[in-house]
Amino acid sequence: MKSSELRHAFFTFFTQRGHTSVPSSSLIPADDPTLLFANAGMNQFKGLFLGTEQRTYTRAVSIQKCIRAGGKHNDLENVGFTDRHLTFFEMMGNFSFGDYFKHEAILFAWEFLTNTIALNPDTLWVSVFEQDNEAYDIWHTHIGIPRQRIIRLGARDNFWQMGDTGPCGPCTEIYVDRGTNYGCAENTCAPGCHCNRFLEIWNLVFMQYNRQSDGIDLPLAKTGVDTGMGLDRLCAVVQNVSSVFETDLFMPIITAIERLSEKRYASSTPDIKAAFRVLADHIRSTTCAIADGCVPAADGRGYVLRKIIRRAALFAQKLSPEPFFPALVDSVISTLGPWYPDLTTRRDVIYTILSQEVEQFSRNLTRGTQVLTNHFTESGPAHTISGTMAFTLYDTYGFPLELTKVIAHEHGVSVDVAGFEKEMDRQRAQSIKKSGTPVLPIPTTMSTTFTGYSELLSKAPVQALITEHNTLTTTVESGTDCWVITTQTPFYVECGGQVSDQGVVQINGYTTPITGLLKQGNAIAFRITAPQQIRCGDFITMQVDQQARAQTTKNHTATHLLQAALMAQFGPSIKQAGSLVTPHYLRFDFSCAVPVTTAQLQSIETIINEQICNNIPVNTRITTLAEAQQAGVTAFFGEKYNPEQVRVVAIPGVSAELCGGTHVRATGDIGLCKITELSSPSAGNKRIVAVTGPTAFRLFQTIASTAKSISLQLRVPEERVYDTVAGQQEHIKQLHTQLRTNRKELITLRMPRWVEQMHTTSSLSYGIVVLEQVPVDELRDAAQQLAAQASGLWCVIGTELAQEKVSCIITVTSGLSTATAMKDLLSMLATVHIKGGVRDTTIHGGAPRMPEGLRSVIEAWIQKHST
């Protein structure tokens, strides 16, 4: 069976059994800061398991893109060295949300494996959580698996949790016995053994708890089922090949590596084979992550992406001196493109980002590897790489720890990881500010209705209070900082790039500003310093700062116009890579592989302002995700969409986006839009900053009045201001060159007189020359010329061009003094406030103003050093 047939068989099997087919979510987790990348099929259903979200279905089936290269589930270090570890894979899963539980889940899995895809039942083993007698009985009594093929394992293997917090529960795993060729021959070998004989293919999790940050597991209101089976592993079993890399999911990529590196996979040494596997896996994860909007960065998921690319660059070197890794993108598109169309439309962006990242790292890779080679040569082969050294490699050469470990492993030495972490902690302590987003103990069932789309003032009762010590309470005292949760609120909490509202609240006649806003689950909380005692049930009036909101709203709708104009200009492959909408400006990042010209930028600005003049009414509607997608509505990665209830903000004929933000009633309300900045914050990404409304108008006013005054000053019409200034600058440059020549001539002419006026002493003659408004390089030239013409010490001192500060060059004709003596002179010059440095027998110094008593210092020094 081919992988495409397995995909179809899986969806068919479960949809026939009442499951709704749900597409894979983006690899960038929606609205979930606890997760770097989607790492399991259940991520997009987290809210359903927790009971904070409802959908019309209670059974789902999906094949989910996953990356496990950071955080709780991290396979990065193993990739290349085993038959089965990957950073990117696709997880097939069926799910029940308060519907069926252990019995059906086990029956479904068994039927699919032994019936639909006809695996030999005698080769299947299972493990259950050691305390889970129910699952054990189902496998033994209902399915008929003999006791010797059911293993009880502890929490490490058979209790699944998504992260440190969140839904979790005991699980049962299904293994295929691949035979003694793959591992131990003994009868005692069983799942849980570290050999390769038993390949885990399917994990059925029985969701029962919600793990809290203190480690306590609270029972979920409704139990659920979350299963996960790696498509790649199932392919390896069904296609009867020894590793996932030999399945039809990987072979086209392996073939592409063979072609580009001119090496053969099958006949390679284990070392080279590992490089093939690393590249084949890493090109899939990086391609898919970038397609979903991730870009390499110094922290967070961008850093995980960077680590993978750099690890690939290291292994690519073993196969070819050419940096061919980015070129493998096309082989990923040929294998995964049919399932994930974004890969094809964003091919150029992906290729550009990979190429730039590989190129930027290549020099450091060479230099860092050299540092390590020197270390091995100097300290002997068996020397551990110290934490400090690993940190320097990380900090100076950009070597992720994983890379250093790979190289260390190749040399048979270890890395002091604890020492490295210590250095990292030290650095973090210096540089990292706390994110400041607290987790409040708000009951998960509590919700607040947002009224802020239609009103800026609401009155509602308090339903919960949280003290400054983060405890849930029913009363807070006057003067204390607290979070307040009301039943309704007009305050918008930061989401989709739009910043939180500002505003005030009134409690029994007292008015106080809100100092923070937070959305947790479905509840919205604001922070205040209680102006008097507050109790649950008290009514609070909440008022949004109208002016700030109005400006933010203008900027938000303008962002939609900008997005539409960019798509009109560059085509639909433009992808939002982040946005910020504040009362003062809007910022929009998008991935775009080609340069943006000034003319294009102007045309984008023109399109936006035309749409503003057209005064198109902006409307919003609630619909389902499927309907919105069918209607071609633009949706962005990283946003959390409830598939059954999405909000579409439409500017008919121009744009339709999924968006929860606040918008103007008609585009004319924006007034005006001016793009103020175009930059490139990271490889493959562009950033546009713009202002709207009164801010844009003031900007035009300032620009116009500045242009007017310059035109009056220059006595030329405004349209000629630019050319005139450019012409004048050219003229100034020529004048400077002329002045320089004149100064030099003058200095040369005056030189004989300065030589004549030299002071003689018994041991060393000296001359002091004072010049005005001369750049320091000319002072240095003069001093050198003088020392060549007349033997002795020359001090040339002068004011810098158009500056108060003084520069001073003191040089002695070669052979008449030493660097040590000059250092002594420099220390003596401190009394006249000259500071600087010494090179050979020349002092380069400076002083805040012209020094007095310079001559006495020089004479004292000559005296001291005369022999």
List residues near ligand SER by CB under 6 A: 40-42, 93, 160, 203, 205, 226-228
Shorter beta-carbon distance to ligand SER: residue 90 or 657: 90
First to last CA, the chain: 98
Q: Which residues 6+ apart lie within 8 Å of 817 measured at CB?
A: 764, 793, 841, 865
Contact 319, 263 (CB under 8 A): yes
Q: Which residues 6+ apart lie within 8 Å of 259 measured at CB?
A: none
Shorter beta-carbon distance to ligand SER: residue 191 or 228: 228
3-state secondary structure of 620: strand
What is the Cα–Cα distance from 335 to 195, expressed in whole angstroms?
Answer: 30
- Shortest CB 194 distance to ligand SER, Å: 19
What is the Cα–Cα distance from 77 to 70, expressed in whole angstroms?
Answer: 10
- Shortest CB 310 distance to ligand SER, Å: 27
3-state secondary structure of 789: helix
Q: Which residues 6+ apart lie within 8 Å of 266 measured at CB?
A: none
- Shortest CB 228 distance to ligand SER, Å: 2
- Shortest CB 95 distance to ligand SER, Å: 9
Shorter beta-carbon distance to ligand SER: residue 230 or 661: 230
Shorter beta-carbon distance to ligand SER: residue 43 or 813: 43
Shorter beta-carbon distance to ligand SER: residue 58 or 227: 227
Shorter beta-carbon distance to ligand SER: residue 129 or 160: 160
Classify burial at 702, counting beta carbons within 10 Å of its beta carbon; exposed 0-12, middle 13-18, buried 19 or more: exposed
- Shortest CB 53 distance to ligand SER, Å: 17
**Which DSSP letter does residue 596 get?**
P
DSSP E strands in 20-80: the ranges are 20-21, 59-67, 69-70, 73-74
Shorter beta-carbon distance to ligand SER: residue 45 or 590: 45
Shorter beta-carbon distance to ligand SER: residue 202 or 590: 202
Q: What are phi and psi of 49, to 5 degrees?
A: -65, -40
Residues 620, 458, 452, CA angle at the centre, nearest 5°? 20
Shorter beta-carbon distance to ligand SER: residue 41 or 638: 41
- Shortest CB 62 distance to ligand SER, Å: 10
What is the Cα–Cα distance from 854 to 836, expressed in whole angstroms?
Answer: 15
Shorter beta-carbon distance to ligand SER: residue 93 or 661: 93
- Shortest CB 227 distance to ligand SER, Å: 5
Question: Which tokens sit at 282?
Answer: 């890493």
- Shortest CB 42 distance to ligand SER, Å: 5
Q: What are phi and psi of 645, to 5 degrees?
A: -150, 95
Q: Across-strand partners of 503?
A: 544
Q: What are phi and psi of 731, to 5 degrees?
A: -65, -45
- Shortest CB 230 distance to ligand SER, Å: 9
* Pick from 291, 283, 286: nearest CA to 252: 283
- Shortest CB 599 distance to ligand SER, Å: 50
- Shortest CB 220 distance to ligand SER, Å: 15
- Shortest CB 470 distance to ligand SER, Å: 30
Contact 10, 92 (CB under 8 A): yes
- Shortest CB 75 distance to ligand SER, Å: 12
- Shortest CB 43 distance to ligand SER, Å: 8
Q: Across-strand partners of 474?
A: none
Shorter beta-carbon distance to ligand SER: residue 167 or 767: 167
Shorter beta-carbon distance to ligand SER: residue 39 or 811: 39
Q: How far is CA 839 from CA 631, 778, 821, 833, 857, in A?
A: 73, 18, 12, 19, 20
Contact 621, 712 (CB under 8 A): no
What is the Cα–Cα distance from 274 to 279, expressed in whole angstroms?
Answer: 9
- Shortest CB 132 distance to ligand SER, Å: 15
Q: b vs e for 591-602, b when ≥16 Cβ sit within 10 Å of the residue's Cβ? A: bbbeebeeeebe
Shorter beta-carbon distance to ligand SER: residue 93 or 387: 93
- Shortest CB 90 distance to ligand SER, Å: 12
Contact 406, 440 (CB under 8 A): no
> Residue type for 207, please?
M
Q: Where are the alpha helices (DSSP H) in 631-692?
A: none
Residue nearest to ligand SER (CB): 228
- Shortest CB 455 distance to ligand SER, Å: 42
Question: Which tokens sit at 120?
Answer: 């030999």
Question: Which tokens sit at 13?
Answer: 């099997």
Helix pair 329-336, 347-379: axis angle to 10 deg: 130
Contact 245, 222 (CB under 8 A): no
Shorter beta-carbon distance to ligand SER: residue 41 or 368: 41
What is the Cα–Cα distance from 143 to 172, expressed in whole angstroms?
Answer: 14
What is the Cα–Cα distance from 635 to 644, expressed in whole angstroms?
Answer: 14
Shorter beta-carbon distance to ligand SER: residue 205 or 358: 205
Shorter beta-carbon distance to ligand SER: residue 40 or 393: 40
What is the Cα–Cα distance from 47 to 643, expressed in whole angstroms?
Answer: 12
Q: Are strands 88-97 and 217-230 parallel, antiparallel or unpaired?
A: antiparallel
* Pick from 623, 492, 601: nearest CA to 552: 492
Q: b vs e for 129-163, b when ≥16 Cβ sit within 10 Å of the residue's Cβ? A: bbebebbbebbbeebebeeebbbbbeeebbbbbbb
Shorter beta-carbon distance to ligand SER: residue 161 or 261: 161
What is the Cα–Cα distance from 713 to 342, expressed in whole angstroms?
Answer: 55
Q: Across-strand partners of 534?
A: 476
Shorter beta-carbon distance to ligand SER: residue 92 or 618: 92
- Shortest CB 40 distance to ligand SER, Å: 4
